[in-house]
Amino acid sequence: HISNGVTDKEYCLVYNQSWTPLSQTLDAAVSYPLVNLTSTLLCDATGIQPEVVNGKALVVMRGVCDFSQKAVVAQSLGATLLLLASNTTLITPSANVSEYSSVHIPLALMRYRDLLDAQQVFGENMQVKLYAPPQSKIDPSIVVMLLIAVVTVTLGGCWDRLDCVLEGGGDSRAEGGDLFLYSPLKVIIFVGLMSVMLLLMYFFYNILVYVIIAIFCLASASALFSCLDAVMDVIGCGTVSFSIKNCKLSLRSLVLAAVCISIAVVWGVYRNEDSWIWILQDLLGIAFCLNFMKTISLSNFKICVILLSLLLVYDVFFVFITPFFTKNGVSIMVQVALGPDAAGERLPVVMRVPRFSAWALNMCGMQFSILGFGDIIVPGLLVAYCSRFDVRINSRNKVYFISSCIAYLLGIIMTFAVMLLSGMGQPALLYLVPFTLITAAAVAGYRKEMRQFWTGTTYEVRAGMLELPVIS
**Residues with a known catalytic role:** 315, 375
Identify the H or E element spanning 36.
Answer: strand 32-36
What residues contact residue 300 under an 8 Å CB cut-off, 6+ apart? Answer: 182, 385, 453, 454, 455, 456, 457, 458
Q: Is the dihedral of CA 231, 233, 234, 237 positive or negative?
A: positive
**Pair 75, 81: CB distance under 8 Å:** no
Identify the H or E element spanning 110.
Answer: strand 107-111
Q: Is 15 exposed, middle or buried (0-12, 13-18, 19+ CB in 10 A)?
A: buried
Number of H helices, E strands in the chain: 16, 14
3-state secondary structure of 239: coil
Rounded-to-integer distance, Cα 131 and Cα 142, Å: 26
Burial 425-444 (b: 16+ CB within 10 A, else e): ebbbbbbbbbbbbebbbebb
